[in-house]
Homo-oligomer: A and B are copies of this chain.
Amino acid sequence: MTKERAYFESLALKEEGKLCPQHVPEVYHFDRTMSLIGMRYLEPPHIILRKGLIAGVEYPLLAEHMSDFMAKTLFFTSLLFRSTTEHKRDVAEFCGNVELCRLTEQVVFSDPYKVSEYNRWNSPYLDQDAEAVREDNLLKLEVAELKSKFCEKAQALIHGDLHTGSVMVTRESTQVIDPEFAFYGPIGFDIGAFLGNLILAYYSQDGHADQANDRKGYKEWILKTIEDTWNLFHHKFTALWDEHKNGPGEAYLPAIYNNPEVQLLVQKKYITDVFHDSLGFGVAKMIRRIIGVTHVEDLESIADAGKRATCERRALNLAKTLLKERRKFESISEIVSAIQQF
């Protein structure tokens, strides 16, 4: 990866930090020549969220905090709040982060759907599952649409890699780190990354259950966190829209859209599109974590390969179904039901 990644990481940290200082570590200094970022030390007991999810730790404020981070960073960098002039200026700047965009294209939208030296999976258990993905034309059709959106749709400044390894937590604090993949892309890519990784954490729990802890209660907590995160995001994003509907965003001018009926119509359309994008990107990121180059510790740390394969296959089958049928789903509670059915 290029040295430039540190520049875009610091740029995104500063921008996100301005918009949501509670959940982004402060940057004190950046030196472009040295690619050096001086930033807040996230002191113990902060740990990577993924580690906490593997250990079975509940974070009662996680949905509240992550919905806050996503609603604020995504709303305030979209055309719902920005002028076209600001938007095009910032889109152009982040076009420079192309190397990391290309990496995402490859590992999320390409490699899992073809034979690639980088792919790996829980063999021999998932050999047929991996092959089935490579031969599923409808899956490839859907993934092509998502890739086009990723490459072409400059909707907001997205973190670009918002999985559970990019979040540090305590029971009281949630801090989003590592935005070196940031660029102007589709809002659903961030939401999907976070929800998709929570779903992987959910399916991995049976692999971590033992006689002392059957993880049943914890699985319920993960499902509730998935549901709460989306619902709170929806609520907060819409509230920001209502609050700022008289400007300065140029997408929906008040002289056209400030009657209650049309305001409801455009918000419902916008949020529904973000919901379906989130589902699509979220499950695409699940698929790549099971049959692509980089896996997640949630599943990898299950020692028994057969037990791990059962968890992985459930996740993979949910993901394949949602990728093809996501537009039929209207609410996050339907998604939670589907997760439980696989």
- Chain B, Cβ-Cβ closest to A155: B152
Within 8 Å CB of A266, what residues of B? 140-141, 144
> CA separation between A151 and B86, bound complex, in Å?
12
> CA separation between A22 and B251, bound complex, in Å?
38
In the assembly, how many copies of this chain are there? 2
A256 within 8 A of B: yes
Known: A88-B95, A88-B98, A255-B115. A105 touches B269 (CB 8 A): no
- Among the stretches A167-175, A195-203, A257-265, A303-311, the one at the interface with B is A257-265
Query: When the two chains form their complex, are residues A152 and B79 in contact, meaning their CB atoms are under 8 A apart?
Result: yes
A235 within 8 A of B: no
A285 within 8 A of B: no
Query: When the two chains form their complex, are residues B85 and A92 in contact, meaning their CB atoms are under 8 A apart?
Result: no
Within 8 Å CB of A148, what residues of B? 79, 251
Query: When the two chains form their complex, are residues A256 and B92 in contact, meaning their CB atoms are under 8 A apart?
Result: no
> CA separation between A17 and B144, bound complex, in Å?
30
Interface size class of A (residues with CB under 8 A): 35 or more
Interface centre among A84, A115, A116 (most CB of B within 10 A): A84
A153 within 8 A of B: yes
Query: When the two chains form their complex, are residues A101 and B114 in contact, meaning their CB atoms are under 8 A apart?
Result: no
Q: State the Cβ distance, A114 to closest chain B Cβ, in Å.
A: 4
Query: When the two chains form their complex, are residues B151 and A152 in contact, meaning their CB atoms are under 8 A apart?
Result: no
> CA separation between A262 and B95, bound complex, in Å?
30
Query: When the two chains form their complex, are residues B269 and A141 in contact, meaning their CB atoms are under 8 A apart?
Result: yes
> CA separation between A141 and B261, bound complex, in Å?
11
Within 8 Å CB of A113, what residues of B? 256
Q: State the Cβ distance, A132 to closest chain B Cβ, in Å.
A: 14
Query: When the two chains form their complex, are residues B110 and A140 in contact, meaning their CB atoms are under 8 A apart?
Result: no
- Chain B, Cβ-Cβ closest to A252: B144
Q: State the Cβ distance, A115 to closest chain B Cβ, in Å.
A: 7
> CA separation between A251 and B160, bound complex, in Å?
19
> CA separation between A82 and B304, bound complex, in Å?
45
Within 8 Å CB of A259, what residues of B? 137
A248 within 8 A of B: no
Query: When the two chains form their complex, are residues B147 and A251 in contact, meaning their CB atoms are under 8 A apart?
Result: yes
* 20 extra A-B contacts, CB within 8 A, seeds A88-B96, A141-B262: A84-B102, A84-B151, A85-B102, A87-B151, A88-B95, A88-B101, A91-B95, A92-B92, A105-B250, A110-B256, A113-B256, A114-B255, A137-B265, A138-B265, A140-B256, A141-B266, A141-B269, A148-B251, A151-B251, A154-B154
A-B contact pairs, 8 of them (CB 8 A): A79-B151, A85-B102, A87-B151, A88-B101, A140-B257, A141-B269, A147-B251, A148-B251
